[in-house]
Structure 1
Amino acid sequence: MSSRAALWLRGLWSRSERSVARFPRLPMAMKAATAAALAWLVVLPIGGVADDYPYYAPFGAVIAVSATVARSWRVSVLSIAGIVVGAALAFGGARLPIAPVLELALVVGGGVVLAGWARLGPGGEWVPLAGVFVLIIGGTDRVGFVMAYVGLTALGALIGIGLNVLWPPLPLIAADGALDRLRETLAQQLDALAGGVSQGDARTGATWQQLRDAVGPRTDDMRARALEASEARWANWRARRWQGESDRQFRSAQAMARLALLVEDLTMLVVDSEREDRETAQLRPALRPPAADALRSTASLVRDRSDTAAAGRIAAAEEAVQRLASAIIDVQTESEAADSFVAGAIVSSLRRIIACCRPDAA
């Protein structure tokens, strides 16, 4: 292979990784589309009842394709169980001597109640839908409809599960993307705090709210992606090769979750102390420049994921925090001493954040 072709392939792979990191559901969407098409091709030659309801096979395939093999099995089994429960509810409602509209209301209401059954898990959402399908679409041949509904859905689910087993997902790239997005959000939050405290006076609560990033959703997304990557090891012949990377990613996710909590606590501390509705701002003019500098240096450390630059970033952040600590000591001999408690809390929080960013903390 020529060097030009090798460079082209590496560039293509890099672009693919970036696409997966930005759109983590893209691989699952492609697999779901393939599974649905295969299920459709498989069910067409069967004939009989499959000719009347062939669309339930791709329906089952889409249900089965999930982020991990383990989840594919679980979701498929519980979804089919939910369909069976909904069908049984429809059969029971149809046997009652009441008007059709009351049958429908009874099946839907009962289905919504049964959807909350813990043992059905995510399959519970299919209970009211299956009940309505059986009651209305089934018509006079409800037994045949239920056999087609359950049977073809199960067939499609087996095809989806089989595709997941043959090429099991290993969502490490998606999890890395979630980690990077959270890292950048936390760094932006620290930069925003630095910009806020560097002002000459306190800001309104509304202004501070605008400076707060949505750390919570990013943290939830990161945890979900890390859990998927860990869960993907089950029945995954690709997992052994990436065992070390998966372990590193799990440790990084734990460290980032702790870091997000520390940044959120620091944000609440600064926002609460620097609102203009307080009688006086807690950070006096002499403490604002070193506080802003310490926040920006820590933001640079959080943003940089390179191990080679970690030592330099850590040293720079520690020096900036120490300058803030020294400034606090300087003002303790002045009239501003009573107002240095918040600055001391900021120092403590930043030191904990720096400790969390050390390579051996992940």
Structure 2
Amino acid sequence: MSPSASTGPAGVPRKPRAAGVAARVRHALAWRTRLPRALKAALAATLAWLVVQPLGGPADQYAYYAPLGAVIAVSVTVADSASAAAQGVAAILLGAALAVLAVELVPGTLAGLAAVVLLGTVLAGWWRLGDMGSWVPIAAPFVLTVGSSGLVDYLVGYVVLTGLGTLVGVAVSAVLPPMPLVPGDREIAVARSRLAGQLDALADGLRSEPPLGPREWSERHHDVRPQTRAIDRLVIRAAQARRGNWRARRRDGWADRQVEHARALARLSFVVDDLAAMLTSMEQRERGSTALGPRLRRPAAAALEAAAAMLRDGAEAGGAPSPSSVERACDAVEELARLVGESIRDLDDEAFTAAGVVTGLRRLVAST
């Protein structure tokens, strides 16, 4: 053992303090994805500036366009970075072409400016340009106004140097690819907590005396569709993050688990939304008699609360809930199912809606 190393109890070596600090820094950076991306953009811009310095000619006057191209290319994933670079260059070329046409065909700078902004804004919606389409109406006025005194040199500087900068940005993204898995885990945990909150709200409504009316129930029905769309984007992003990413090979297991949890969560979202729609529409005092009836309301609330606790446990565990929380949820649902069976034998009308609640909760537990 080296003299600088230290030992803990029973002679177990302690990790060097510097290694512990580095691990904490890496963890903090992983949770704050904006900062690593900003650092990477700053590095790409700096390298692009240094690359064009020896070129001379228009590069001396318009060197600042190389860092611009580098920043355009630094994106969330390696595959997205290359795609954004190509789309960005295409958008800039299109904007420059509009400016050249305006110089030749439209009399007067003011009329030409209006024309290129109008056409550039329309062309920005072209689907092939993707998110980079907004550069068309930006590039066109630049070329038209700034480059009016030396159009050829300006075009070379603007288009060529920006393209060169995008190549530098793509290279930086390939060497330092992001792997946005920790933020994905956080999104999954937040989504589970929100679904648990919806189940708790439904349980609270069932425990209310007297039974709630339509307006009170509508306040307890949360819209989970935005959460479902966010989960779908998470699955897509996790898959895209692997393309062209050398770091993905070391984290395949983590990425696979994240996709699995995200897909399970998407199924849970639909089940929870169905339960909320059923209870908020059927369990109302204005119907004369509530759909579940006094015999089943509290057992149904207990089952919903147990399912919510199971989802919240999974959020805290960072994925699947503990076996004990799943078992408690199963027991509560099966107790409700037993009472529903007795109500069916007694031909109670409320048993039929309760049976739908049991089916939904069983699907929820199975989808966890």
Tell me the TM-score normalised to structure 1 length. 0.87
Partner Cα distance (1:323, 1:14) in 2: 46
Alignment of 1:156-235 (within 5 A): 156-213=165-222, 215-235=224-244
Partner Cα distance (1:140, 1:188) in 2: 63
Partner Cα distance (2:25, 2:346) in 1: 57
Query: Is 1:343 matched up with 2:340?
Result: no
Partner Cα distance (1:185, 1:11) in 2: 34
Partner Cα distance (2:321, 2:234) in 1: 26
Query: Is 1:356 matched up with 2:351?
Result: no
Counterpart in the other structure of 1:60? 69
Residue identity in the other structure for 1:313: S
Does structure 2 retain, via aligned residues, the 8 Å contact 1:185–1:213? no
Residue identity in the other structure for 1:350: L
Partner Cα distance (2:323, 2:192) in 1: 18
Residue identity in the other structure for 1:342: T
Unpaired runs of 5+ in structure 2? 9-13
Does structure 1 retain, via aligned residues, the 8 Å contact 2:234–2:262? no
- Displacement of 1:64 in angstroms is 0.8
> What secondary structure is seen at the aligned counterpart in 2 of 1:95?
helix
Aligned with residue 108 of structure 1, among 117, 122, 126: 117
- What do the CA deviations read for 1:60-95 (whole angstroms, capped 9, x no partner)? 111111111111000100111011111111211222
- Displacement of 1:297 in angstroms is 0.7
Instruction: Indicate the larger mover: 233-242 or 216-225.
Output: 216-225
- What do the CA deviations read for 1:166-201 (whole angstroms, capped 9, x no partner)? 122222222222211212221222122211221123
Query: Is 1:316 matched up with 2:331?
Result: no
Instruction: Indicate the larger mover: 178-187 or 70-79.
Output: 178-187
- Displacement of 1:321 in angstroms is 0.9
Inter-CA distance 240–102: structure 2 relative to 1 (3 Å threshold):
same
Partner Cα distance (1:152, 1:215) in 2: 46
Partner Cα distance (2:197, 2:291) in 1: 23
Partner Cα distance (1:158, 1:80) in 2: 10
Unpaired runs of 5+ in structure 1? 358-362
Counterpart in the other structure of 1:128? 137
Instruction: Indicate the larger mover: 119-128 or 185-194.
Output: 119-128
Residue identity in the other structure for 1:267: A
Does structure 1 retain, via aligned residues, the 8 Å contact 2:224–2:269? yes
Partner Cα distance (2:26, 2:215) in 1: 40
Does structure 1 retain, via aligned residues, the 8 Å contact 2:221–2:277? no
**Number of aligned residues:** 355
Does structure 2 retain, via aligned residues, the 8 Å contact 1:181–1:218? no
Inter-CA distance 309–69: structure 2 relative to 1 (3 Å threshold):
closer
Aligned with residue 20 of structure 1, among 30, 36, 52: 30
Inter-CA distance 279–308: structure 2 relative to 1 (3 Å threshold):
closer
> What secondary structure is seen at the aligned counterpart in 2 of 1:106?
helix
- Displacement of 1:97 in angstroms is 4.1
Aligned with residue 251 of structure 2, among 242, 248, 260: 242
Partner Cα distance (1:331, 1:324) in 2: 11
Partner Cα distance (2:141, 2:333) in 1: 63
- Displacement of 1:215 in angstroms is 2.9
Partner Cα distance (1:330, 1:272) in 2: 24
Partner Cα distance (2:217, 2:335) in 1: 25
Inter-CA distance 131–295: structure 2 relative to 1 (3 Å threshold):
same
> What secondary structure is seen at the aligned counterpart in 2 of 1:285?
helix
Q: What root-mean-square deviation, in Å, do the aligned CA atoms of Structure 1 and Structure 2 show? A: 2.7
> What secondary structure is seen at the aligned counterpart in 1 of 2:105?
coil
Counterpart in the other structure of 1:294? 303
Q: Percent identity?
A: 40
Partner Cα distance (1:206, 1:136) in 2: 59
- Displacement of 1:210 in angstroms is 4.0
Counterpart in the other structure of 2:11? none
Does structure 2 retain, via aligned residues, the 8 Å contact 1:200–1:285? no
Does structure 2 retain, via aligned residues, the 8 Å contact 1:186–1:260? yes
Does structure 2 retain, via aligned residues, the 8 Å contact 1:53–1:149? yes
Inter-CA distance 225–333: structure 2 relative to 1 (3 Å threshold):
closer
- Displacement of 1:299 in angstroms is 1.1
